[in-house]
Amino acid sequence: MRLDYSSVKFDIDLELPSSKSIHNRVLVLNNLYDLGLNIGHPSQSEDSQLMQKLLKSEANVLFCDNAGTVFRFLTAYLCVGSRTVELTGSERMCKRPIGDLVAALKSLGAQIEYINKTGFPPLVIQAGLRKGGHVKVNGNLSSQFISALILIGPKLQGGLTIELEGKISSRPYIDMSVNLMKSLGFKLEFRGNFIYCETDRTELVEKDFNIEADWSAVAFWIQIVAFSKRGRVFINRLRKESVQGDCVLMNWAGSLGVKASYEANGIVLEKSKVPIVNNTEWNFVNYPDLAPSIVVLLSVFKRKAFFKGLESLQIKESDRTAALANELKKCKVIFKEFEQGWLLDASNFELEPETIFETYSDHRMAMALAPLSLLKPIHISNSEVVGKSYPRFWSDLESVKY
């Protein structure tokens, strides 16, 4: 896809897609506990549609494509089900580790077998896990492993205590699972390095549940506004009181060349005249999905910066650290790993017209690179990958022309 939005000035209103992170959790809970929820503003993302389809499927083989959340949540969900299922995915999915989640479930008595390589999909999962207890999980791995256990915790006899060992990464996503379930009447507590899941639940009176807009998608619009000549966007359905950790973007926007403010029912992003500081340090241990956008944004402004907490990017839909290094190299940007993190040196940033950027079949790579089209015309390969989380992204980006 060829993109050209250079020198744009815009003032637009947007409705971002609903959060697939929230929707996928609600779908699992609604099915597992027969909550009878009426879900408003459902996510139209490919991931959420896939989750909904597979939860209803009676097939013996379930194909999760490259949807990490879907695969990990279903791994735990199927253990407490009523049938034996083969769980598989795309070539990339089968290279993404699942061993720590499987080990945790097997320690509780789950029957799971690896079909090919130990520690990786595909899996054969036998139903029958009924008893809870105490399980230990490395807190520095994917938060989705931990959330998968949290979701099934109240289903297990005697409940479940999850002990997180070591440093805890992506904690806001764990908090999301805990707080979301508490809002639905479940009795959970996250204290220190322990998560306590009780079997009791308060019956819900209100059955309507509206999915929040996706805060992680705001990162792309911060880029778009920052790269514009004079841009302003109002984004509807975003609240201060969000269960999504990526709302931290409201605190970060000012240092990224964007003025951000809350209004009734949403937020406003406006181009700022405040200069972006050089040699900043960023820690993405709790916000890994925001890293590609911030790295590309700082590159455009020819900044040097240091990043920590990028370890989990290597097991996403692509190896995002390697992907960023490869694609930004096309703009004379150095992005390389050191012992304690990653160094960005974009002092020689230069974007050639008609540059072709690869997406590595990764939705966030596509959307993080797309705002470069506000500088010069570029090409994005395999552009349809945005459907994974933000199906309307290209039509929303097109609206900045008007």
Separation between Cα atoms, residue 204 and residue 2, nearest integer Å:
49
Active site residues: 289
* Segments in 197-350 forming alpha helices (H): 218-227, 249-252, 291-300, 320-328
* Segments in 114-217 forming alpha helices (H): 143-152, 171-183
- Please name the residues in contact with 54: beta carbons below 8 A apart, sequence gap of 6 or more: 62, 64, 70, 74
β-partners of residue 113 are: 124
Residue 163 is given by DSSP the state: E
β-partners of residue 196 are: 161, 189
Pairing verdict, β 208-210 and 38-40: parallel
**Tokens, residue 370:** 């797309």
- Please name the residues in contact with 189: beta carbons below 8 A apart, sequence gap of 6 or more: 178, 195, 196
Instruction: Decide: helix, strand or coil at residue 199.
Output: strand
Is residue 31 within 8 A of residue 250, CB to CB? The reply is: no
Nearest to 178, CA basis, from 210, 153, 204, 203: 153
Separation between Cα atoms, residue 146 and residue 136, nearest integer Å:
10
CB-count burial class (<10 Å; 0-12, 13-18, 19+) for 208: exposed
Is residue 357 within 8 A of residue 378, CB to CB? The reply is: yes
For tokens 């999909």, what's the residue?
Answer: 121
* Segments in 123-273 forming alpha helices (H): 143-152, 171-183, 218-227, 249-252
Q: Tell me whether the omega of the peptide bond preceding residue 122 falls within 30 degrees of 0, making it cis.
A: yes
